[in-house]
Structure 1
Amino acid sequence: MKKAIAKNIYFLILIMTILFTIVYIKFYHIEGSTFSILKEAFNSSGAEHLNSEVYIWSRGGSWFGDFSSLKKMAEEFETDFGIIQNDLYSKNYINNNFVSKIEIIGVTWDGNKINITAQTGGENSGSKETYVSVCVSTDFENCELEGVIENIKDSFRKYNLEPVVSTCITGYFDGKLDYKALNAISKNIFKDSNASKVNGIADRNLISVSAYSPAIGDSINVDGKKINLNLAIRYNSYEDKTYIWLASPVITVEY
């Protein structure tokens, strides 16, 4: 009797171990940074890569009105990120009673395009907000932006700014895709990112779906539901191309 009970316990432990291993492999197969998860999911769509963009921003209320410090910080960001002062480089200022702003635009040695913006309200702005943002974009398909993102986040934190990150990958398909193809693309993306649909809309030329993936750490709350993945697909009849945007947590670019 004792041998039978011990045998059953052994088989129960064995089955639980196997099930745990399957779940572990399924989940951690896609473990990594948000950008790496998005990139892997995007690649499963079969789309041609057009652009990858990361937008990192923060409020800095305690810096209100202190434009000289904001300017110094933006210029130190420029050095931190390795912006080259070539023909594509520019530094612009806006200073009036409503806003004081610096914008630095350039490229890095490895071809990433960077836009640094820091601004604070003027005397007549009626706002006590200060904003700092960095946008990084690249046309390279096999880009590795993970290190760049962490570098930018570290730079923000040096100034006690808590970075908020939005990531978007844009691509396209030649021609107009039918419903069957669009459905297959969506399923592949959500399967590869371990995401579940939260809500969505669809009309003749546009599909937009919001989803949640436990593999992506950050999320936003919309109508009481967690969202950290956004997929949009739109057909452009003028170009005869079907464009796709995959973003986390939501698409912030115009589509």
Structure 2
Amino acid sequence: MKRLKVITSIGLILILSIINYVWANDSIQKDEKLLLKVFNKTEANFLEANVNFTGKILDKLVEIDELETMAEKLKDNLNILGTKRDGNFFNDMNNVKIVSEDFYDMDITNGENFRQIIISGKDKEDRTITIILSSYKDVYGNAEETDLVIDVIENKNASKIERVINRVKEVFKNFNTKPQITTCITGTFKGKLKEKDIYKKITRALQSVDAKKVEGLTDPSVISISAYSPYLKNYIYTGNKKMNINLAVRYNQYEDKTYIWLANPIITIGY
């Protein structure tokens, strides 16, 4: 499960645009606590929590040196440790990004109409934090924009998510921006669960926040359900229906574990 989710923001944008989802901008003050409550009802073993923040911070194309200065300040604000290691550093065995407290990575793309800086590293509590600053110009419409994505992976204690979220919100507040936030908690069960037991766990979890099923998919390899709870304020639309809980379950034969992903409002990582 060690992975660098650099493309999370891109995937999120594509998902929401292709299937015509619309974000709501309601307060999400307590959503993370409620999502953790739902997860605990499944009785899964906590593996990791991934929180992704996306927002536009400027209406202009930024020069690469200014973008790099912004990225360094963000790194310091988020307490990313280590010294800079330029370029991507991958484990040749499985193409997994190696992230440690000794180094942080900075990858730079500098084009005429598109500039991007990606910083990835660890903070003092061993969280993996990725910062993506993208600045671009639409050569056809002459529109210019600079976006910020901050992706946090907590794999020690799910209850610490709220503190991280508050810190990142402050970062966006400094840009007068309210970010779109996606939270996904991943857990595991030992062995392969029977389908009836999976649905019992799903039902118990959704009932804990009065969530009603919106859509569902079941095939031999995965069960996926979207639902809506009146208690979770961060939601999107699927068609003309609101959804703010997305839950998926899949068995991994190689590890002999059943994985569960629980997200608000939608799962944006691979499963």
Which of the five TM-score ranges fits, normalised by the shorter chain? 0.7 to 0.9
Q: 1:92 to 1:100 in 2, by over 3 A?
A: same
Separation (CA, whole Å) in 1 of partners of 2:188 and 2:209: 19
Q: Counterpart of 1:58? A: 55
Separation (CA, whole Å) in 2 of partners of 1:41 and 1:76: 36
Q: What's the TM-score, normalizing by structure 1?
A: 0.81
CA contact (8 A) 2:49 2:158 kept: no
Q: Counterpart of 2:208? A: 192
Q: Counterpart of 1:253? A: 269
Separation (CA, whole Å) in 2 of partners of 1:193 and 1:67: 46
Equivalent residue in structure 2 for 1:110, among 95, 101, 125: 125
CA contact (8 A) 1:173 1:243 kept: yes
Q: Counterpart of 2:107? A: 92
Separation (CA, whole Å) in 2 of partners of 1:179 and 1:133: 37
Question: Unpaired runs of 5+ in structure 1?
Answer: 1-30
Residue 215 of structure 1 deviates from its aligned partner by: 1.2
Question: Unpaired runs of 5+ in structure 2?
Answer: 1-27, 83-100
Cα deviation code 1:161-211 (max 9, x no counterpart): 221100000111122111210111101110123211111111112111011
Residue 123 of structure 1 deviates from its aligned partner by: 8.3
1:129-168 alignment runs, 5 A limit? 129-168=145-184
Q: Counterpart of 2:230? A: 214
Greater percentage in helix: 1
Q: 1:161 to 1:74 in 2, by over 3 A?
A: farther
Query: Is 2:197 the partner of 1:178?
Result: no
Residue identity opposite 1:72 in structure 2: T
Equivalent residue in structure 2 for 1:226, among 242, 250, 254: 242
Residue 125 of structure 1 deviates from its aligned partner by: 9.2
Residue 62 of structure 1 deviates from its aligned partner by: 0.6
Q: 1:32 to 1:118 in 2, by over 3 A?
A: closer
CA contact (8 A) 1:96 1:122 kept: no
Q: 1:235 to 1:152 in 2, by over 3 A?
A: same
Q: Counterpart of 1:8? A: none
Separation (CA, whole Å) in 2 of partners of 1:196 and 1:65: 44
Q: Counterpart of 2:217? A: 201
After TM superposition, the structure 1 stretch with the greater mean CA deviation from structure 2, 58-67 or 79-88, is 58-67
Q: What's the TM-score, normalizing by structure 2?
A: 0.76
Cα deviation code 1:87-141 (max 9, x no counterpart): 2312221112352111111111122111011011268698734321000101114
Higher radius of gyration, 1 or 2: 1
